[in-house]
Amino acid sequence: MEWRVPLSDVDMDEEEIQAVTSVLKSKWLTMGEVTQRFEQAFAEYLGVRHAFAVSNATVALHLANAALGIGPGDEVIVPSLTFVATANAVRYTGAKAIFADITGDFDLDISPGAIVAAITPATKAITVMHYAGFTCDMPAISDIAYQHGLAVIEDAAHAPGTELDGKKAGTFGDVGCFSFFSNKNLVTGEGGMIVTDRDDLAEKIRLMRSHGMTTLTWDRHKGHAYSYDVVTLGYNYRIDEMRAALGRVQLSKLARNNTRRGKITARYWEAFAGTNLTLPFRNSRGRSAFHIFPIILPRGVNRLGFIDNLRAKGVQTSIHYPPVHQFSYYREQYPGIKLPITEDVAAREVTLPLYPTMSDEQVEIVIAAVLSALDEAS
């Protein structure tokens, strides 16, 4: 279908093409110098000691759990209103994902109170997800983690550039994980980054990212080593030079593009302020990366009918997210879980188009389509 306004789009131009072409001409395609430069630039941008580019954010989350020593018999508290990878990464280690409710329909992040209620003697870590690019209540969550001796993993897939109290998302906890998927704020197609200030975790991540090997192909190519040892069970979670090249260019555009996303979000908030829509995060803490724009429909409005109405007007929408605890696999693994706020909000959430290359005309098309659909639903 030809959308008048797609859900998302990619800001790429000749600069990215030249960056990738340069890599291809170099004939060094696997992880090497370009990746190292991308990692250094990303670490400097966040103000963090260590950054490791990986093949996607899911493996970043897996490495975060594994590096923290999480395994069978352990529990990790996670949100359910998130992409399934947040919970899957816990399961990969053999640990149990414990789902906690969100704060409310104006704050779709994990609730500090629900975290406290979920803590048991088996709890080893808390994973937060900064929904839509709006930070969780990290001061409260950090205090909870400190009081109970728990690690904190930040799923910052929505939040490159998000800030709270002068700190960027991904740097509050022990480990931060970022996504560079094609609909994200910083795009490499597939790809991700895992960051930490802890030297001990950085060494484990460095080894586990590439088969537990003490040296990499690039090290041997540069003459820094002749062979290698394997000192731990590792994985092939590396990124390649083409995607790292894209990442370097995209990082240079991130601040500008996040600003544009913020302006579109402000226009949406203004246009919908007088409706019966709930507008999450309108009075949010910190500075957002404005990854997506969620709205919560009034009770009684047929969501599929609303979505179809916008579709007929050429406006693409989505749902973020079907709750993880309601998927068949997790219902079978953990029967009987009830998260009333998550379930209520998730049943009424619709995500509107939001991307930095979106024109003012397209923004107004979306606004008009939403207002019309609301009128027809009332």
Residues labelled catalytic? 184
Helix, strand, coil % in the chain, rounded to nearest 5: 40, 20, 40
Give the ranges where the chain is alpha helix by DSSP (H). 14-26, 33-46, 57-67, 85-92, 112-118, 138-148, 199-209, 217-221, 241-272, 303-312, 328-333, 340-346, 360-377
CA–CA distance, 52 with 370 (Å, rounded to integer): 41
| Exposure b/e, 262-287, CB count within 10 A at least 16 = b | bebbeebeebbeeeebbbbbeebbbb
Residues 6+ apart with CB under 8 A from 61: 85, 86, 88, 89, 127, 153, 155, 177
SS3 362: helix
Q: Which amino acid is at 334?
A: Y
Q: Residue 41, exposed/middle/buried by CB under 10 A (0-12, 13-18, 19+)?
A: middle
CA–CA distance, 87 with 80 (Å, rounded to integer): 8
Phi, psi of 359 (to 5 degrees): -80, 160
